[in-house]
Amino acid sequence: MRAVIQRVSSAKVEVESEIAGEVGLGILVLLGVERGDGEKNADAMLDKVTHLRIFPDDAGKMNRSLRDVGGALLVVSQFTLLGDCRKGRRPSFDRAAPPEEARSLYEYFVLGARESGIPTATGVFQAHMLVSLVNDGPVTLLIET
């Protein structure tokens, strides 16, 4: 499982000119599910994302987590994160999980976030989405499980 996370002051995702999900202060998670990933990967990813200390404390140091600041998640599925660009000029997506498998783990990740009390918005799985964000910092990190 691979995620690009961005600390945001706001973010939203639109599908067919409608807002599908929107958050204020929080983290935008672009989530890619790899073949062979399971619930353990999703649990580890959720734990890492929600406890990673990337928000500033009173001294301006990155010492607070999403949970500490009461932030929200915007989770967007993105199989292209598993694209392999090492050969040729067209990415290979062989490492990406098939849609049914990826959807299941994506939904599991989202449900886990919601059940843990984190306000969580989403995009629409397999839809063409327009993602807008204000990256705060900027802070952008790549996480793999």
Which residue ranges make up each domain of the chain? Answer: 2-144
pLDDT of residue 22: 98
**C-alpha to C-alpha distance for 115 and 36, rounded to whole angstroms:** 24
Architecture of domain 2-144: 3-Layer(bba) Sandwich (3.50)
Tokens of 81: 């994160």
Query: Residues 54-94: pLDDT tens digits?
Result: 999 999 999 999 999 999 999 999 999 999 999 999 999 99
Q: What pLDDT does 33 receive?
A: 98
Is-contact 112 44, C-beta < 8 A? no
The per-residue pLDDT for range 41-50, each reduced to its tens digit, is 999 999 999 9
pLDDT band at 121 (very low <50, low <70, confident <90, very high): very high
Report the catalytic residues.
78-80
Q: Would you state the structure tokens that stand for residue 75, as one six-digit string?
A: 């989770």
Pairing of strands 26-32, 62-64: unpaired
| Residues 129 and 118 sit within 8 Å (Cβ to Cβ) | no
Given its phi and psi angles, is residue 117 left (phi above 0), alpha (psi -120 to 50 degrees) or beta? left
1, 35 Cβ separation under 8 angstroms = no
